Structure 1
Amino acid sequence: MPIHGMRRAAGTCATLLALIVAATLPGVAQAKDTPEKPTLTMAVGGLPGLYYLPVLAAQQLGYFKDEGLDVTLEDFAGGSKALEAVVGGSADVGAGAFEHTLFMQAKGQHYRAFALMGRAPQIVVAVLKSKADQIKTLADFKGAKVGVSAPGSSTDLVLTVALRKAGVQRNEISAIGVGSGATVLAAVSGGQLDALSNVDPMMTKLARSGAIKVLVDTRTVQGTQEVFGGTMPAATLYASETFIQKYPKTTQALANAIVRADHWLQTASDADLLKMVPPAYLLNDSALYVEAFHNVRDAYSPDGLMPADGPATSLRALSSFDSRLDPKKIDLNSTYTNDFARKAAAQLK
């Protein structure tokens, strides 16, 4: 064989060997097909919050890139704002609460969740310590000014469900959008709020400093069941039915990356976490961030799959306070699919 032929053959063997090794590495989710839409934009409803940590991990650890995707993360003050970007077409897919798919179906628009990130909302409802003498329970919230990430977002919805159980209607409070990052601290210190419904790490930071008194805690599966009577699916990746049908390989690649991130979060050490998270998100207090992470760790889905009772629990809770949501007119099976997450999870075994 000519020398150049031998080199070519050796090079081919080396390439094949590299591919075989890569395919057999533990924990590596390989994209089965090239995504139809490799460059895309994802709208996220508050990226600094631990609620969306699987998205951040997938981006920071290169999981999207491993799947052949170039994902631009567009950050918004809350899930409802991110949804607007997806519906308006400025974003291809959304990272947001599962309930958005229910509300969109009620409006005649079909969106489907295809990878679960959170099996508990991770939302804390608390009263400011300065108001704790007047507001001792949820029943005392009438007339209160309550900070939420954005009106209509999951922080607002969880607040509304919890208040309704205590006999307080949504129109009896004032919900004020305060974001989910450092803007929360400014709103609390500015004296414009009586109470707060928000996510970590901000709620852990405020509780640690003694600024708030926690009344409702859905950072654990148990705490969530106490409020909602079942598993309440939280953060998901979702897209329009049109997108999923048009780009099934892209949807699978996104699910692969997110389920891999879900899996990573189950066993990541504190050091792993701090190495992955950008310094700007650590609030100049890495110990606080780690504490907040441990407060919510139970809330992350281990496999990206929608729990069997999740959609029904969500619909029951949401329809209890929003008359626009008629349970008889909602087809739960068309608001989510486990097909992509199941394939993604199988690759990690």
Structure 2
Amino acid sequence: MKKLVSVLTIIMLSFFTFVACNQTKQVNMQKVRVGEVTHSLFYAPLYVALQNGYFKDEGLDIDLQTTAGGDKTMTALLSNGIDIALVGSETSIYVYNQGAKDPVINFAQLTQTDGTFLVSRKKLDSFNWSDLEGSVFLGQRKGGMPQMVGEYVLKKYGINPQQDLTLIQNVEFANIANAFASGTGDFVQLFEPTASIFEKEGKGYIVASFGKESGKVPYTSFMTKESYLKDNQKVIEKFTRALYKGQQWVDTHSPEEIAKVVTPLFKDTPQDIIVKVIERYKNQNSYATNPILDTEEWNNLQSIMKEAGELPKEVPYDILVDTSIAENVINQ
């Protein structure tokens, strides 16, 4: 009987010790509020890092919010509604050129090409960019990276967006897909998985990739205010380390394996669509394999902005980009 009591005592002590340790871990978890400009398979490395527990391993409790549109995402960051923003790097340039006292710093890159696709309402036996001449093109928000890349590619093929077609840019980012589905436009610029879903449902047909046509750019990056970066160096380092693990995992695994991990975050998207989208992004090297945003990409970004007439003043790379933490994480 004494032996039984001793065994039960040990079991109870072990249980309470486990609970206490677990509670200590929970208390020590640091909450980080992250705003993503849209929820898309374009951001698969982030979702892999979340689903595989890489952020938790670093002691970070990620509160991920979808803040639809670059302007809303940046407003949330500047007003302290979020700690880190995942949005196009052009937004940091806009904020800086507006004279921000606490500029927004890009510290880790997630995607390195445009993530949108040109979708045609009609099924075309063959596609040529000249097919857009005289058409109604439902584009993205003026001043945003998708719109600027869209215009950059059109000009590349000799099409003047303001003269050679009817360009619609006054539709809210979150409503563009619905507007096209309701009959607006002959062509539309869409992110995945919406583009592939439309194709599967016969609402439109993917005819070209803006990512393939525009080259490497820091299309979406993680950024934060300079003050937050200064006061939370360890947090940013942990965040970047977890992200890098997610990027490396995506780089070394198949679309099917990646789809299996991220599916819980896209419950309304069919599995075959998820696999197809990830495969498409991997094939065009949209996913950055490390968090470093390099000088060439930054310069290409500003060239595209300048071409679109959206660059008030060029901003040197080292003012709004800090790769020191990313480099340290990679070299560890």
**TM-score, structure 2 normalization:** 0.79
Unaligned 5+ runs, structure 1: 1-10, 12-34
1:321 alignment partner AA: A
Q: Please report how far the alpha carbon of residue 164 of structure 1 lies from its aligned counterpart in structure 2 after TM superposition.
A: 4.0
Matched, 1:300 2:287: yes
User: Residues 233 and 242 from structure 1, CA distance in 2 versus in 1: closer, same or farther, beyond 3 angstroms?
Assistant: same
The 1-side partners of 2:227 and 2:155 are apart by 36
For residue 243 of structure 1, the aligned residue among 224, 228, 251 is 228
Where does 1:190-339 land on structure 2 (aligned, <5 Å)?
A: 190-219=182-211, 223=212, 226-227=213-214, 230-279=215-264, 281-297=266-282, 298-327=285-314, 330-339=315-324
Relative distance call for 1:274 and 1:216 in structure 2 (3 A) is closer
The SS at the match of 1:322 is coil
Specify the SS of the correspondent of 1:301. Answer: coil
Taking only aligned residues, the RMSD between alpha carbons, in angstroms, comes to 3.1
- 1:193 to partner: Cα distance: 3.1
Deviation at 1:293, TM superposition (A): 0.3
Say if 2:68 is the partner of 1:82: no
Alignment-derived partner of residue 8 in structure 2: none
Q: Deviations over 1:256-289 (max 9, x none)?
A: 1111111111122345323322446154410121
Aligned length: 301
Q: Residue 173 of structure 1 is aligned with which of 146, 167, 181?
A: 167
Cα displacement (A) at 1:44: 0.5
Distance 2:269 2:216 in 1: 34
Name which of 36, 39, 46 aligns with 1:44: 36
Match of 1:128 in 2: 121
Match of 1:119 in 2: 112
Q: Distance in 1 between matches of 2:65 and 2:133?
A: 34
Q: Contact conserved, 2:87 with 2:222, CA < 8 A, in 1?
A: yes
- Asked if the contact 2:263/2:271 (under 8 Å) is kept, the reply is no
Secondary structure (helix, strand or coil) at the match of 1:193 reads coil
For 1:101, what is the secondary structure of its paired residue? helix
Preserved CA contact (<8 Å) 1:40 1:72 = yes
Partner secondary structure for residue 234 of structure 2: helix
Secondary structure of the residue that 1:310 maps to in structure 2?
A: helix
Indicate the SS of the match to 1:295.
Answer: helix
* Partners of 1:318 and 1:246 in 2: CA distance: 31
Structure number with greater Rg is 2
- Inter-partner Cα distance in structure 1 for 2:255 and 2:159: 41
**SS where residue 91 of structure 1 aligns?**
coil
In the alignment, which residue of structure 2 is the partner of 1:161?
152
User: C-alpha separation between the residues in 2 aligned to 1:282 and 1:151?
Assistant: 31
1:69 matched to 2:69? The reply is no
Q: Is the 8 A contact 2:116 2:189 kept in 1?
A: yes
Partner of 2:22: none
- Sort the Cα spacing of 1:142 and 1:178 in 2 relative to 1 into closer, same or farther, 3 A: farther
Pair 1:103-2:90 in alignment: no
Verify the 8 A CA contact 2:51 2:261 in the aligned structure 1: yes
2 CA distance for matches of 1:192 and 1:55? 33
Task: Name the CA shift for 1:231/1:39 in 2 (closer, same or farther; >3 Å).
Answer: same
CA distance in 2, matches of 1:58, 1:114: 17
Q: Deviation of residue 125 (structure 1)?
A: 2.4
Gap change, CA 1:285 and 1:213, over 3 Å in 2: closer
Shift of 1:175: 1.6
Cα distance between partner residues in 1 of 2:259 and 2:330: 25
What is the match of residue 137 of structure 1? 129
Counterparts of 2:324 and 2:87, CA distance in 1: 19
Relative distance call for 1:141 and 1:96 in structure 2 (3 A) is farther
The Cα of 1:215 is off from its aligned counterpart by 5.0
- Mean CA deviation greater in 252-261 or 119-128: 119-128
Q: CA deviation at 1:338?
A: 1.6
Task: Give structure 2 stretches of 5+ with no counterpart.
Answer: 1-13, 15-27
What do the CA deviations read for 1:128-169 (whole angstroms, capped 9, x no partner)?
Answer: 217x79x96367456725153x55433223223233444424
Per-residue CA deviations over 1:56-90 (Å, capped at 9, x if unaligned) read 22222211111111111111223332122112221
Give the AA of the match of 2:43.
Y
Q: Deviations over 1:5-34 (max 9, x none)?
A: xxxxxx9xxxxxxxxxxxxxxxxxxxxxxx
Deviation at 1:96, TM superposition (A): 1.2
Distance in 2, matches of 1:253 and 1:280, equals 23
Question: Which one is further off, 309-318 or 241-250?
Answer: 241-250
